Chains A and B, each alone.
Chain A
Amino acid sequence: MEFFRNWFQAAILVLTNASWTFPFSRSLYQGPLKVLCSPGLNCYSCPAATVACPIGALQQLLLSVRMTLANGQVYVGFYIIGSMGFLGAIFGRMVCGWACPFGFMQELLYKIRSPKFTILRPLRYIKYAILALTVVILPLVAINDFGMGLPWFCKFICPAGTLEAGIPMLLLQPDLRQIIGTLFWSKFTLLILFIGWSVVASRPFCRTTCPLGAFYALFKKAKMIRLTLDESKCTQCKECHSICPMGVKFNESPDDGECITCMRCMNESCRFGAIGIEIGGLPVQASDIRRKKTAP
């Protein structure tokens, strides 16, 4: 399953960044697919990006909401929130585990041999503050004389934007190198910190900072596809603790907002069939899956 998941992640990475004509065009893909929202965090200013980043698009709509409403245009984010919420209600943070290019990159970095460290559990709450403040409140409230806000998360934090768009655009358009300043270098430093942190800790950006992950985590009790715990079979051996890439103690909190439904606990650690998966209310126990594997 892990092998399949990694290939699925790679496929999503390629599909959401499938415009490989950029070395010749030296600009962004401008086709109709960009109306679609990427399921995971994927900067739409990336020259190869074929879809829009929901977090970037939402901020852009909110920061100009006064101006558009004054012009009689109701661009308040219904389409973006509808897209994100639809995916969230079906998959929750499974999107993070299966369809996020930046999450996949962190997983690959974590495979590098090095000392490994855990991430303090209270740090998980930072991402909810980042979602509320930098994606919603500040773009709406902190406005200039023209009534326009800033895309606070993209501009000051997003390391995916620096990696997928900032650096490639500087390589493609050398003229831009003359106008980079403190902002770029501070974001570049943040990117380097997250890359280094990803080598020694599992998915640090997803666990502490990602506003999209925070949004999907809101559906922890209301998602269609979810892992379930059969307490009658659980022996409290805690093997699911050590294998979880998100630091979830599954036997203690099966509805944890951090669970990315990678299914490693179900397929690789639980020997007692205590962890199963439920799709639309229909339970599919781990033991059933194993039986299907061995069936002719």
Chain B
Amino acid sequence: MAAKRLQQPANKLPLFFISFFIIMFCIGVFFDEPSRVLEQAWQICLSCIGIG
């Protein structure tokens, strides 16, 4: 049974997606997106929470 399990082809799709999204993340960092996210997260957007 153990041998049979080892013969199963590994699903490489998760690795592809992990690599893809890490690259995407790095592109975001390259364009300084985190500073924009931080800027927005520090401010309270009243209309976003249903006030005002």
In A55-113, the 8 Å CB interface with B consists of 56-57, 60-61, 68, 73-75, 77-86, 88-90
Secondary structure at the B interface, as helix, strand, loop or mixed, is: helix
Which interface class (under 10, 10 to 19, 20 to 34, 35 or more) fits A? 35 or more
Residues A85 and B49 in contact in the complex (CB < 8 Å), given A30-B42, A32-B38, A222-B14: no
A-chain residues with CB within 8 Å of residue B52 when the two chains form the complex: 176, 179-180
Distance between A289 CB and nearest chain B CB, rounded to angstroms? 15
Contact among A60, A180, A222 with B17 in the assembled complex (CB-CB below 8 Å) = A222
* Cross-interface CB contact of A169 among B22, B28, B47, B51, cutoff 8 Å: B51
- What's the minimum C-beta distance from B21 to chain A, rounded to whole angstroms? 3
Tell which of A1-9, A114-122, A181-189, A235-243 binds the partner: A181-189
Known contacts A73-B36, A154-B49, A165-B49; A281 and B11 CB within 8 A of each other: yes
Contact of B38 among A34, A61, A170, A180 (CB under 8 A): A34
Q: Interface 1/0s, chain B 31-47, versus A by CB < 8 A?
A: 11111111011111111
Q: With A169-B44, A179-B52, A224-B14 given, can you name 13 additional A-B contacts, CB distance below 8 Å?
A: A45-B45, A52-B41, A73-B32, A74-B33, A78-B24, A161-B48, A161-B50, A166-B51, A184-B50, A187-B50, A188-B50, A221-B13, A283-B5
30 residue pairs of the A-B complex, CB under 8 angstroms, read A28-B43, A35-B34, A52-B40, A60-B40, A73-B36, A75-B36, A78-B25, A78-B28, A79-B31, A79-B37, A80-B28, A80-B33, A82-B25, A84-B21, A85-B24, A86-B18, A86-B25, A89-B17, A89-B21, A165-B49, A166-B50, A169-B49, A176-B46, A183-B47, A184-B50, A221-B13, A224-B15, A224-B18, A281-B10, A281-B11
